[in-house]
Structure 1
Amino acid sequence: MGLKFCNEAIMSLVQIWPVHCNFEKEPNTPLQDALIKRLGANAFPFHLELTPLAPPSVQLVPAKQYHGAPIGTSYDVRAYIAERADEKVSRRNTVRMGIRVLQGPGKSTAMPPVLPQSPHRTLSTLAHHNVLR
Structure 2
Amino acid sequence: MYALTVRDHLMIAHSFKGDIFGPAQNLHGATYVVDMTFMRPDLDDDDLIVDIGLASTVLKELLAPLNFQNLDELPEFKGRNTTTEFMARTLFERMREAIAAGRLGPTGKGLSDLRVTLGESHIAWASYEGPLHG
Structure ranking higher in helix proportion: 2
Same fold (TM over 0.5): no
Q: What TM-score does the superposition give when structure 1 sets the normalisation length?
A: 0.29
Structure ranking higher in strand proportion: 2
* Higher RCO (C-alpha under 8 Å, 6+ residues apart): 2
Q: Say which one has the larger Rg.
A: 1
Q: What TM-score does the superposition give when structure 2 sets the normalisation length?
A: 0.29
